[in-house]
């Protein structure tokens, strides 16, 4: 069998020859780098690639460039009960750009994220997006910064979807403002007796949402005592148990704010199981897609997760700056059936 374009996989040189352009021009057109490529040439290259059935040799590209094209997302502490909305947002954003997408799931221990970043570095991705909340007492932050700086020194690009404060471009969301706005909305609905189902004690996301909510109530002259703020794991099962603990104390509570929707669903489930769902209102934070199937529909802070992902990927093609960029994305409260207006 002869080594011809009809008996082997088409090569870049075959595409360039058929399109009547240089190999460099064909490469730029096929890899989405249109700088210096005339539209007519780009169209001929794409048509030639289609005719020959050409697919980009990603392994060869990685060897030649020392880095594989695409986006690798490292997600810390992914929940096992509901889909991570940030992961879904980044996946859609990469699909719109026709970029390869790889997901690395890190555990919940502080050292797990550093290990996941070093694993990601070994795969030589072009872009590394890190998502997941941070803890205020995280002693591994210096090691994480060092690992990410090594990765950027090797030619990669880092963007964080997390709390601001690390020396890398970051997309963050207004957690404190969202908590404050939720408190204001619930007060406007007539609620006066509150409890908060919060997350891990040192978790920055949970802390900011809780503090924002408490501040919003304080501005309405409503105080939430410390015993009404329950701290535990950041998931549905923990919230279910904390709701039981709260109600067994016979606390007079009209509304429970859970600092994420997965936890809010745990609260709703406990109230349903014990027949208290009509007595206690519930609100969450995030507006995950699972809420479409919940009755009663959940009042929550809607976060534009696809916009957050788009902002992050847009940052990856910008040059690094000193100081690094920070983009803050705000959410808004959506009032639904789980918090009916109070009539006294």
Each residue's pLDDT tens digit, 321-340: 999 999 999 999 999 999 99
Mean pLDDT for the stretch of residues 59-65: 59
Q: Is the pLDDT of residue 78 over 70?
A: no
Regarding whether 77 and 26 lie in a shared domain, the answer is no
Regarding whether 295 and 217 lie in a shared domain, the answer is yes
Cis status of the peptide bond prior to 296, with omega within 30 of 0: yes
Closest CA to 303 of 258, 333, 268: 333
pLDDT at position 2: 40
The answer to whether the Cα torsion of 212, 213, 217, 222 is positive or negative is negative
Q: Is the pLDDT of residue 295 over 60?
A: yes
Regarding whether 84 and 50 lie in a shared domain, the answer is no
pLDDT at position 60: 61
| Residue 338 covered by a domain | no
CATH number of the domain encompassing residue 33: 1.10.260.40
Q: Residue 115: pLDDT band by 50, 70, 90 thresholds? A: confident
Regarding whether 44 and 126 lie in a shared domain, the answer is no
Q: Is the pLDDT of residue 165 over 70?
A: yes
| Residue 337 covered by a domain | no
| Residue 109 covered by a domain | yes
Number of domains in the chain: 3
Regarding whether 181 and 134 lie in a shared domain, the answer is no
Mean pLDDT for the stretch of residues 29-56: 80
Regarding whether 289 and 193 lie in a shared domain, the answer is yes
Regarding whether 312 and 169 lie in a shared domain, the answer is yes
Regarding whether 169 and 182 lie in a shared domain, the answer is no
Q: Residue 69: pLDDT band by 50, 70, 90 thresholds? A: low
**CA distance to 157, 177, 179, 266, per residue, from 208 (Å):** 28, 8, 8, 21
Pairing mode, strands 157-161 and 125-131 = parallel
The runs of H, that is alpha helices, within 58-172 are 58-65, 85-96, 110-122, 141-153
Closest CA to 155 of 105, 206, 121: 121
| Residue 152 covered by a domain | yes
pLDDT at position 267: 96
Q: Is the pLDDT of residue 199 over 90?
A: no
**For 151-160, how does the pLDDT look when each residue is reduced to its tens digit (9 = 90+)?**
888 888 999 9
135 SS3 class: strand
Regarding whether 212 and 151 lie in a shared domain, the answer is no
| Residue 341 covered by a domain | no
Mean pLDDT for the stretch of residues 11-19: 90
* Least confident segment among 92-106, 211-225, 288-302: 92-106
| 284: Cβ contacts below 8 Å, ≥ 6 apart | 257, 258, 259, 260, 261, 263, 264, 265, 291, 298, 299, 300, 301
| Residue 271 covered by a domain | yes
- What are the start-end ranges of the E strands in the chain? 68-76, 101-106, 125-131, 157-161, 169-173, 194-197, 229-230, 255-258, 281-283, 300-302, 326-329, 332-334
End-to-end CA distance of the chain: 87
Block residue for tokens 């609100």: 283
Regarding whether 237 and 180 lie in a shared domain, the answer is yes
Cβ atoms of residues 235 and 203 within 8 Å: no
CATH number of the domain encompassing residue 78: 3.40.50.2300
Block residue for tokens 């059935």: 53
Domain region containing 90: 68-173+305-329
| 206: Cβ contacts below 8 Å, ≥ 6 apart | 133, 198, 199, 200, 234, 259, 260
Regarding whether 184 and 85 lie in a shared domain, the answer is no
* Least confident segment among 141-150, 173-182, 251-260: 141-150
Q: Is the pLDDT of residue 80 over 50?
A: no
Regarding whether 180 and 123 lie in a shared domain, the answer is no
| Residue 288 covered by a domain | yes
| Residue 7 covered by a domain | no
Q: What percent of the chain is predicted at pLDDT more than 90?
A: 49
pLDDT at position 64: 60
């Amino acid at each position: 069998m002869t080594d011809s374009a009809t008996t082997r996989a088409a090569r870049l040189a075959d595409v360039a020859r058929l399109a009547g352009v240089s190999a460099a021009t064909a490469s730029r057109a096929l890899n989405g780098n249109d700088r210096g490529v005339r539209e007519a040439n780009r169209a001929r290259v794409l048509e030639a690639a289609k005719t020959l059935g050409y697919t980009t040799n990603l392994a060869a590209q990685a060897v030649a460039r020392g880095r594989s094209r695409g986006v690798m997302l490292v997600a810390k502490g992914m929940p096992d009960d509901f889909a991570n909305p940030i992961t879904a947002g980044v996946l859609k954003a990469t699909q719109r750009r026709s970029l390869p997408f790889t997901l690395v799931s890190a555990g919940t221990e502080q050292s797990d994220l550093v290990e996941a970043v070093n694993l990601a570095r070994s795969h030589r991705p072009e872009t590394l997006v890190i998502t997941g909340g941070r803890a205020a007492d995280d002693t591994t932050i210096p090691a994480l910064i060092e690992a990410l700086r090594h990765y950027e020194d090797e030619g990669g690009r880092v963007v964080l979807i997390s709390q601001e404060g690390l020396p890398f471009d970051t997309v963050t969301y207004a957690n404190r403002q969202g908590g404050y706005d939720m408190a204001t909305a619930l007060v406007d609905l007539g609620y006066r007796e509150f409890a908060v189902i919060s997350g891990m004690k040192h978790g920055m996301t949970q802390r900011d949402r809780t503090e924002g909510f408490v501040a919003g109530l304080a501005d309405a002259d409503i105080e939430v005592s410390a015993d009404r703020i329950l701290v535990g794991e950041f998931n549905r099962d923990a919230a279910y148990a904390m709701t039981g603990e709260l109600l067994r104390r016979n606390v007079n509570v009209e509304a429970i704010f859970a600092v994420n929707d997965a936890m809010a669903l745990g609260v709703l489930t406990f109230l349903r199981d014990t027949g208290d769902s009509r007595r206690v209102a519930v609100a969450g934070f995030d507006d995950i897609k699972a809420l479409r199937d919940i009755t009663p529909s959940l009042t929550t802070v809607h976060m534009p997760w696809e916009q957050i992902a788009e902002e992050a990927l847009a940052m990856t093609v910008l040059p690094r700056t000193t100081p690094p960029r920070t983009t803050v994305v705000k959410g808004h409260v959506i009032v639904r059936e789980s918090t009916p207006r109070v009539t006294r």
